[in-house]
Amino acid sequence: MNKYTERLYNGVIKENPTFVLMLGMCPTLAVTSSAINGLGMGLSTLVVLVCSNLLISLFRNIIPNGVRIPAFIVIVASLVTVVQLLMQAYLPALSKSLGVYIPLIVVNCIILGRAESYASKNGPLESVFDGIGMGLGFTMGLTIIGLIREILGAGTFFGLAFLSSIKGYTPATIFIMAPGAFLVLGFLVAGMNIVRKKMEAKGKPLAEPAGCLSGDCANCGMSAGCTGKSQAAGKSE
């Protein structure tokens, strides 16, 4: 396995941002009311992530260390604006259903996290593959959660009649509404806790959750990836 396929494997399986690292939980909860929405959000994040990883990796030796986070934010925000305008022009329906969550990709901790922990330390090609891996992992996570919620909550499969075609079947609408997002994610986290235990017993522990779901901003594993954390840490020193 060369280092490029290793990056892909790392992003999709080993450090999957949704299931293992538990990053980017706001969009994960908000846009997974259907599989299509999850897929659309995942792919938009993928595009932004790949481009931002490429640009940040190219500029990593030019950007002064002290202002790197604002510089990253400007790069990411510009890319997000490009994606947002492209979606408004070519995918108006999807753009409408994702709404404010498209511009909010800017504050998605996966993007700044990868910029800080990978792209700012590695070459452009590796960073691009890291972005593709992480982006695909995130897309996979969102699509799977979206699919679960859609099947249970609407009885459809990517918008096609699935369970709903069975006579007398009533979908549990709560799953495509706001509480369903918390419910599915809660069970997902619990399931991952079991998997984590099993893997630890096997001697192959999974990576720790790095994002906000680890429960405590003060001891957040994202370290300097989050602007808030780096300043808070700086103050306590």
Partner 1 sequence: MSSLASLVLLAVSAAIVNNVVLSQFLGICPFLGVSKNTKTAAGMGGAVIFVITVASFVTGLIYKFILANSALLKKGIDLRFLQTIVFILVIAALVQFVEMFLKKQMPPLYESLGVFLPLITTNCAVLGVALNCVTFEYNLLESVVYGLATAVGFFIAIVLMAGLREKIEYNDIPKPFQGTAIVLLTACLMSIAFMGFSGMI
- d(CA 77, CA 107) in angstroms, rounded, equals 9
- Phi first, then psi: give them for residue 171, nearest 5 degrees: -70, 150
Q: Under a CB-based contact definition with an 8 Å cutoff, are residues 146 and 34 in contact?
A: yes
Candidates 20, 154, 185, 210: give the one binding partner 1 (CB under 8 A): 185
Candidates 47, 54, 80, 210: give the one binding partner 1 (CB under 8 A): 80
Question: Least distance in Å: CB of 126 to partner 1?
Answer: 26
Question: Least distance in Å: CB of 51 to partner 1?
Answer: 15
Supply 73's token pair: 């934010």
**Distances from the Cα of 120 to the Cα of 80, 113, 169, 218, angstroms:** 19, 10, 52, 23
Stated as kind and residue range, the H or E segment containing 166 is none
| 211 belongs to the binding site for partner 1 (CB under 8 A) | yes
Burial 90-125 (b: 16+ CB within 10 A, else e): eeeebbebbeebbeebbbbbbbbbbbbbbbbebebe
Candidates 89, 160, 166, 190: give the one binding partner 1 (CB under 8 A): 190
- 169 or 182: whose CB is closer to partner 1? 182
Question: Least distance in Å: CB of 46 to partner 1?
Answer: 18
| 193 belongs to the binding site for partner 1 (CB under 8 A) | yes
* Interface ranges with partner 1 (CB under 8 A): 22, 25-26, 29-30, 70, 73-74, 77-78, 80-81, 84-85, 99-100, 103-104, 106-107, 109, 112, 174, 177-183, 185-187, 189-191, 193-194, 197, 209, 211-217, 220, 226-229, 231-232, 235
